[in-house]
């Protein structure tokens, strides 16, 4: 297993995940189009590279943590054309199965293996190394990346097919967004009726209505009014859009998912893609004329 790794995309997740590799004593060559992200990376001991091609020249295994399918596709094509030491690319982004299949094919032609490894668990999981890591890619090459992925969290190997892990991740993120949407409606109704928000949350969390929004997002970011859970509305909207589009292409109707998508579209339009996705609750709050705060 190589000790020389690469990291393309040193944003909120990429910064924390690359720091875990650096903290384990590994050598990491990284790049990002945002200079501040690179500065923080080198401050933690990373080696700055000019771009993804420069990373490919130095590192055998390269991790990607990028915002959109189009950018993942571009970066994969750059790496395929660059040659160098690179033998394996692992995409940690949530970008759906379609780009994974295209990227895997173009890299395969260049003799480079492709793994999808979308992750779940947010910034806290990335910082603590407790992410759920959904992995798909060639089973006979898995050993080459398994040890490195152990720095990020618990692995779930889904299968050989490119994009399979991305399907699992999109399905998970649809569930997480749906939980946020419907929990917002339930909380707003209870608070408007006169129940204290914390009492209502305690009831849900001791009862059958508990979910990731009531257990984590509401207590941490909605009740205190900080809206700092750490996941952008634009990213959640992207994930749910990808999920619904993929499901439709597969002939799987997603009626509830389509409603969740529209609530995210409204949140994105009103509060912007950089807002925290817990801002979803503010849409229902405004309609009902009540706020869910402690």
Distance between CA atoms of residues 77 and 64, nearest Å? 13
Span of 64-72, 136-144, 241-249, 268-276 interacting with ligand NAD by CB under 6 A: 64-72
CB-based contact 136:165 (threshold 8 Å) = yes
Query: What's 48-103 look like in SS3?
Result: ECCCHHHHHHHCCEEEECCCCHHHHHHHHHHHHHHCCCCCEEEECCCCCHHHHHHH
Residue with tokens 């801002």: 279
Nearer to ligand NAD, 88 or 120 (CB): 120
Residue with tokens 């619904």: 244
- Binding pattern to ligand NAD, positions 32-51, x when CB under 6 A? xxx--x--------------
| Of the candidate residues 41, 46, 61, 65, the single one contacting ligand NAD (CB under 6 A) | 65
Nearer to ligand NAD, 116 or 285 (CB): 116
Residues 207-266 that bind ligand NAD (CB under 6 A): 230-231, 235
- Binding pattern to ligand NAD, positions 89-128, x when CB under 6 A? ----xxx-----------------------xx-xx-----
Which residue number is nearest to ligand NAD in terms of Cβ? 11
Question: Residue 279, interface with ligand NAD (CB under 6 A)?
Answer: no
| Of the candidate residues 6, 46, 67, 153, the single one contacting ligand NAD (CB under 6 A) | 67
Report the nearest approach of ligand NAD to the CB of residue 60 (Å). 19
Distance between CA atoms of residues 183 and 263, nearest Å? 13
3-state secondary structure of 190: helix
First-to-final CA distance of the chain: 50
Stretch (H or E) spanning 208:
none
Contact positions vs ligand NAD (CB under 6 A): 8-14, 31-34, 37, 52, 65-67, 71, 75, 93-95, 119-120, 122-123, 230-231, 235
């Amino acid at each position: 297993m190589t000790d020389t790794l690469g990291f393309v995309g040193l944003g909120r997740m990429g910064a924390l995940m690359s720091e875990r590799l650096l903290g384990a004593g590994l050598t990491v060559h990284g790049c990002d189009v945002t200079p501040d992200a690179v500065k923080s990376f080198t401050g933690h001991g990373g080696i700055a590279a000019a771009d993804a091609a420069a990373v490919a020249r130095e590192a055998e295994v390269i991790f990607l943590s990028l915002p959109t399918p189009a950018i993942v596709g571009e970066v994969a094509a750059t790496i395929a054309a660059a040659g160098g030491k690179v033998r394996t690319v692992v995409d940690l982004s949530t970008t759906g199965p379609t780009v994974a299949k295209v990227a895997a094919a173009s890299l395969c032609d260049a003799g480079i293996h492709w793994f999808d490894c979308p992750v779940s668990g947010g910034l806290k999981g990335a910082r603590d190394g407790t992410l759920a890591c959904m992995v798909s890619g060639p089973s006979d090459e898995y050993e080459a990346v398994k040890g490195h992925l152990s720095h990020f969290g618990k692995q779930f190997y889904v299968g050989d097919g490119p994009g399979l892990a991305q399907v699992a991740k999109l399905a998970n993120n649809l569930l997480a967004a749906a939980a946020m949407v419907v929990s917002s409606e339930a909380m707003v109704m209870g608070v408007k009726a006169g129940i204290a928000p914390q009492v209502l949350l305690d009831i849900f969390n001791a009862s059958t209505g508990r979910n990731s929004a009531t257990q984590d997002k509401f207590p941490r970011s909605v009740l205190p009014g900080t809206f700092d859970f750490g996941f952008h509305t634009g990213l959640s909207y992207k994930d749910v859009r990808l999920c619904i589009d993929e499901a439709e292409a597969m002939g799987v109707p997603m009626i509830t998912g389509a409603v969740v998508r529209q609530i995210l579209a409204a949140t994105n339009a009103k509060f912007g893609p950089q807002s925290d996705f817990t801002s979803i609750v503010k849409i229902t709050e405004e309609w009902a004329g009540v706020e869910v705060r402690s």
